[in-house]
Amino acid sequence: MELKVLAPGRHWMARTKERRKLAEITSPLGMIDVIRGPMSASAHPREFLERWEFVLDGADLLLVDDMRVPGYGARKRVAAESTVLLQGVPGHLSGARTLRPSKRFVALTWGGNRITAKVGRPRYSIRDATGAECAAFIGKSWTFHRADPAVVAFAAFFVSASIEPMLMSPLLELA
């Protein structure tokens, strides 16, 4: 998984005022376009939220509503739970960051299914509901054991939103 940001850094890390393609991600299924745009102002008048679209071959792979800018803003929204559509099936993204490694996670739940990114040694892993490893990653190096659309879409969101720090210890930020 390689993220190629098409917009200058200040545009990628800032709120978008119009819907546009800002990045591309190389994945095992092909090139995924990352499109970000504002949500309606009436939905959340006190905060500026975006809709992120992950498009594969012209079809929506994953739609994430109620999202903020990449990095800290995205991590905060995932912790508060964001709504998603994974190939037309409604679901949500959730996560937690605690001192205990076994309690840190980012999860995608849709239509009775669930895949979870968790802490592992020496790498992080994405596992399905049965506990089988679907993908593993260390930094930018990804290994897919099962490249189905749900796993690839979750990995694409993980890479583009920069939410890997949710799986790291919060004590690392104190240094």
Segment 131-165, tens digit of pLDDT:
899 999 887 788 999 889 999 999 999 899 988 88
- DSSP class of residue 40 equals P
Q: How confident is the model at residue 42 (pLDDT cuts 50, 70, 90)?
A: very low
Residue found under tokens 């998984």: 1
CB-based contact 116:127 (threshold 8 Å):
yes
| CA dist list (Å): 122 to 90, 119, 151, 152, 168 | 33, 9, 20, 21, 12
Residue found under tokens 């546009």: 20
Residue type, 144: F
25 has pLDDT over 90: yes
Q: For residues 103-112, give the mean pLDDT.
A: 92
Distance (Å, rounded) from C-alpha 83 to C-alpha 45? Answer: 17
Count CB-CB contacts under 10 A for residue 105: 17
pLDDT the model gives residue 45:
55
Q: Given CA atoms 70, 103, 119, 63 in this order, what sign does their dihedral have? A: negative
**Strand 50-56 with 59-67, pairing:** antiparallel
How does pLDDT run across 49-106, given as a tens digit for each residue? 889 999 999 999 999 988 888 888 888 888 888 899 999 999 999 999 888 888 889 9
pLDDT the model gives residue 119:
86
11 has pLDDT over 90: no
